[in-house]
């Protein structure tokens, strides 16, 4: 069955430290890949997406993600975290064809001073 | 350009009642999707509509239904509410149907069933 796994439920990082959030998917072919962020009481905001081409994609707010086909992964990174980055982050995958967007369970990011 | 608007923001209902949630997509967007978000199950897909036709449906009971109007606005209805229906219901729109069309989300309707 198709699935999206975010292994880390909760991550705490210090402000200014680097960040990597993991995402693995299980699909037959390379799907379309997305990262979304959700602040408390808000909807989801698209950070970045990967469809094809360069495997390192840049997004908003200084985030980037790297697609690794061999590992079926699409990890999100940021070189220096700001306190305002504290939120929940969702990896999402959509396979080619008329299928809905499937989300991982999310990773909650806490940022400490 | 205004974002996706969901009304109401909060709802409190009693078991057995029914509820209707509304979603106005971004102007020009013709595809609308609905998701249910709960702490235990995360984000689960409910429906997707495009040009007033349901294109995809998630694994939810028939108590959950939806529709899309000619102006792309969408409603979802939940009948015979159960306690487990308490959740944040998120609507998302995109310019067109298709796997490479990113979804733009509203802030959701928080439904509490007592």
Judged by a CB distance cut-off of 8 A, whether residue B67 touches chain A is: no
Residue B4 has pLDDT above 80, yes or no: yes
pLDDT at B19: 98
**Least confidently predicted of A5-9, A41-45, B35-39, B81-85:** A41-45
Tens-digit pLDDT profile for residues B30-88 = 999 999 999 989 999 999 999 999 999 999 999 999 999 999 999 999 999 999 999 99
CA-CA distances (angstroms) from residue A71 to A18, A98, B60? 22, 25, 32
Q: Which residue of B has its CA nearest to A94?
A: B99
Question: In the predicted model, what is the mean pLDDT of residues A105-113?
Answer: 96
**A102 has a chain B CB within 8 A of its CB:** yes
Query: A49, A33 in Cβ contact below 8 A?
Result: yes
Give tens-digit pLDDT for A76-107.
999 999 999 999 999 999 987 778 899 999 99
What is the rounded distance in angstroms from the CA atom of residue A42 to the CA atom of residue B56? 25
Using the Cβ of A52 and the Cβ atoms of chain B, whether some distance falls under 8 Å is answered with no
> Residue for token digits 């109401």?
B8
Which tens digits make up the pLDDT trace of A55-64? 999 999 999 9
Test A95 with B99 for CB contact under 8 angstroms: yes
């Amino acid at each position: 069955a198709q699935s999206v796994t975010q292994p880390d439920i909760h991550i705490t990082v210090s402000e200014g430290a680097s960040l990597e959030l993991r995402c693995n998917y299980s699909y037959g072919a390379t799907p379309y890949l997305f990262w979304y962020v959700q602040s408390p009481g808000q909807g989801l905001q698209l950070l970045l997406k990967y469809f094809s081409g360069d495997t390192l994609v840049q997004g908003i707010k200084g985030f980037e993600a790297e697609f690794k086909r061999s590992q079926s992964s699409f990890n999100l990174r940021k070189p220096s975290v700001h306190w305002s980055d504290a939120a929940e982050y969702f990896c999402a995958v959509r396979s080619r064809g008329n299928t809905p967007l499937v989300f991982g369970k999310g990773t909650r990011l806490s940022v400490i001073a | 350009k205004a974002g996706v608007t969901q009304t109401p923001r909060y709802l409190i209902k009693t078991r057995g009642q029914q509820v209707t949630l509304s979603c106005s997509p971004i102007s020009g967007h013709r595809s609308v999707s609905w998701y249910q978000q709960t702490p235990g199950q995360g984000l689960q897909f409910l429906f997707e509509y495009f040009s007033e036709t349901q294109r995809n449906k998630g694994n939810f009971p028939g108590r959950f239904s939806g529709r899309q109007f000619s102006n792309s606005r969408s409603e979802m209805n939940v009948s015979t509410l159960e306690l487990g229906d308490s959740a944040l219901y998120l609507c998302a729109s995109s310019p067109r149907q298709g796997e490479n069309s990113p979804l733009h989300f509203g802030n959701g309707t928080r439904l509490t069933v007592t």
